[in-house]
Amino acid sequence: MIDEKYITNRIKQLCEKKKMSMYALSKKSGISQSSLSNLMKRRSAPSFFTLDKICDGLGITMAQFFSSDGRILDITEEQREVLQIWDSLTDQQKQAVKIYVRGMRLE
């Protein structure tokens, strides 16, 4: 069964995996640093919308958040490979890739 501690522990785990501080998560998710800090200290369950923002800040889906093995769900091996490469990029490199891919769609 998933409880409040699972959610806060999972947030910490994902931040550590991505080498992201709570401050960085706050900035990327749009959740104030104090709100995020209170959530983590009280180990309380966030609302659906708050958790969705946290997942956006972490660059994952909610399905990935709750995935027990950390795998990306329902994608091909080729897509998985691209996403594994994506995870190793810096924020600046990710921005460059997004610009490039958007340009490709316009052709």
CATH of the domain at 38: 1.10.260.40
d(CA 81, CA 75): 10
Task: Count structural domains, the chain.
Answer: 2
Average pLDDT over residues 41-55: 88
Q: In the prediction, which pLDDT does 86 show?
A: 86
90 plus 66 within the same structural domain = no
67 plus 103 within the same structural domain = no
42 plus 80 within the same structural domain = no
Q: Residue 55: give the domain boundaries.
A: 1-73
66 plus 93 within the same structural domain = no
Cα-only R_g, the chain? 15
44 plus 13 within the same structural domain = yes
Q: Say what percent of the chain tops pLDDT 70.
A: 88
68 plus 79 within the same structural domain = no
16 plus 51 within the same structural domain = yes
CB 15 within 8 A of CB 25: yes
73 or 19: which leads in pLDDT: 19
